[in-house]
């Protein structure tokens, strides 16, 4: 009896393995059959489409040729569209005004408010009618610029939240309001209008809030400049006084050394702090130069990195060409009509 028990156990294990492998084999066979069915269906559909194309090849070619010629004629007769681009760096939070103004100008174009557009850009009504659209995008950034922007963002967060956000998360979730450099694109039917648009855009950026922010910045920098200039005057006074003392000590040491030499003594020299005062003077001068540079460089609310060109470029976007759009639409309409008639015949002949 005891010998039979291990034998039965081994038999049961073998049966379980056979059942398991059969299950795996059946699953693989079903998967292969499913893949075959899908491939056969795709092949059958492909052959059916080719059959329809070959049977109706003359009609298809006729539709394509007519649609292409008609589209090319429309493209030829249509007014040419031009565009120009500029890169800008709004300062003192004026980017919000810039983004809102772009939306406002597009709204005016959409409702054809020619009078307001001509006032905004100081252009004629005929020139205002030629405007098509304004676009704004985040400008190109180097890796270093992205890191600087990310570090600036981290400074606004608490220490706990800061550890949970990575650079990739920041770049993925940022929007246009977090950018510093913007690409502006103007589109018009008039290729000579872009310099006038540039002037109008620059004037429209300035807002009351941006002016206040700039005045605050200027006031702070001027105050810091005055404090540094006072410090510089004090340091130079101390340096001059110290040099006078050194001169007196030098004269005194000369007399003392003569007496000491005659008596056989050695006179100790006083340690000077002239280098320390000179370092302080240089540091203050560097800070003053940095402040003056900041006042000169960032004196504008709206900096143009790259301006609009004198003449716009011809817009040549292939997927907007009627000679490509109309043939595609023609094929869709032809397919719908063919499908409708086939369905109609099927319904009529259905029993």
Tens digits of residue pLDDT in 82-99:
999 999 888 877 888 889
In a domain, 311, yes or no: yes
What pLDDT does 55 receive? 84
Q: At what angle do helices 57-77 and 322-349 cross, to 10 degrees?
A: 150
Which tokens sit at 289?
Answer: 């130069």
Least confident among 75-79, 218-222, 302-306, 308-312? 218-222
Helices (H) and strands (E) in the chain, counts: 12, 5
78: left (phi over 0), alpha (psi -120 to 50) or beta: beta
Tens digits of residue pLDDT in 95-114 = 888 899 999 999 999 999 99
Cα atoms in the 13 Å half-sphere on the side-chain side of 338: 13
**Is residue 341 assigned to a domain?**
no
Is 50 within a domain?
no
Specify if 68 maps to a domain: no
User: Parallel, antiparallel, or unpaired for β 182-188 and 131-138?
Assistant: antiparallel
Q: Kindly tell me if the per-residue pLDDT of 194 is higher than 90.
A: yes
Q: Which two tokens stand for residue 135?
A: 């676009």
Q: Which residue has the tokens 């005659």?
A: 262
250 domain-assigned: no
CA distances from 238 to 242, 281, 340 (A): 6, 11, 99
Q: What is the mean pLDDT of the segment spanning 204-232?
A: 74
Assess if residue 276 is contained within a domain.
Answer: no
Q: Are 85 and 195 in contact (CB under 8 A)?
A: no
For residue 175, is it within any domain? yes
The total of structural domains in the chain comes to: 1
Give me the pLDDT at residue 276, please: 77
**Alpha-carbon distance values, 301 to 87, 91, 128, 229, 332 (Å):** 14, 5, 26, 27, 52
> Does the global pTM surpass 0.75?
no
> What whole-number distance in Å separates Cα of residue 296 and Cα of residue 302?
14
Q: Is the pLDDT of residue 263 over 50?
A: no
Residue 271 CB coordination number (10 Å): 5
Q: Tell me, what's the pLDDT at 275?
A: 72
Contact residues for 143 (Cβ-Cβ < 8 A; gap 6+): none
Domain that includes residue 163, residue range:
81-207+305-323
Confidence of residue 33 (pLDDT cuts 50, 70, 90): confident
Kindly state whether residue 106 falls inside one of the protein's structural domains.
yes
Cα(51)–Cα(70) distance, integer angstroms: 28
Residue 143 clears pLDDT 60, i.e. is over it: yes
For the chain, the average pLDDT equals 80
pLDDT tens by residue, 264-311: 444 444 444 667 777 777 887 888 787 777 766 666 667 788 889 889
Mean pLDDT of 229-238: 80
Residue 255, judged by CB atoms within 10 A of its CB (0-12, 13-18, 19+), counts as exposed
């Amino acid at each position: 009896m005891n010998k039979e028990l291990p034998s039965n156990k081994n038999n049961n294990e073998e049966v379980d393995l056979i059942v398991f492998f059969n299950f795996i084999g059946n699953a693989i066979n079903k998967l292969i059959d499913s893949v075959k069915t899908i491939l056969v269906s795709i092949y059958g559909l492909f052959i059916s489409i080719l059959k329809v194309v070959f049977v109706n090849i003359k009609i298809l070619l006729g539709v394509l040729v007519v649609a292409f010629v008609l589209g090319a004629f429309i493209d030829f007769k249509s007014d040419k569209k031009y565009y120009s681009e500029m890169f800008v760096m709004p300062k003192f939070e004026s980017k919000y005004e810039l983004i809102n103004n772009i939306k406002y100008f597009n709204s005016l174009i959409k409702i054809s408010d020619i009078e307001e557009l001509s006032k905004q850009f100081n252009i004629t009504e005929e020139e205002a009618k030629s405007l098509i659209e304004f676009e704004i995008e985040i400008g190109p950034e180097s890796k270093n610029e992205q890191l600087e922007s990310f570090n600036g963002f981290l400074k606004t967060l608490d220490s706990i939240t800061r550890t949970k956000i990575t650079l990739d998360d920041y770049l993925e979730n940022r929007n246009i309001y977090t950018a510093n450099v913007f690409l502006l694109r103007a589109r018009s039917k008039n290729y000579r209008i872009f310099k006038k648009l540039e002037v109008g855009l620059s004037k429209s950026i300035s807002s009351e809030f941006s002016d206040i922010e700039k005045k605050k910045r200027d006031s702070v920098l001027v105050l810091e400049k005055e404090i540094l200039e006072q410090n510089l005057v004090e340091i130079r006074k101390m340096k001059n006084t110290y040099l006078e003392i050194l001169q007196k000590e030098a004269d005194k040491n000369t007399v003392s050394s003569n007496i000491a030499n005659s008596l056989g003594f050695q006179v100790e020299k006083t340690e000077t702090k002239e280098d320390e005062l000179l370092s302080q003077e240089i540091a203050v001068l560097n800070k003053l130069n940095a402040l003056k540079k900041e006042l000169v460089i960032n004196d504008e609310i709206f900096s143009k990195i790259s301006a609009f060109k004198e003449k716009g470029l011809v817009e040549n976007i292939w997927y907007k060409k009627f000679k490509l759009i109309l043939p595609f639409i023609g094929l869709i309409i032809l397919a719908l009509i063919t499908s409708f008639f086939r369905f109609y015949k099927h319904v009529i002949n259905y029993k």
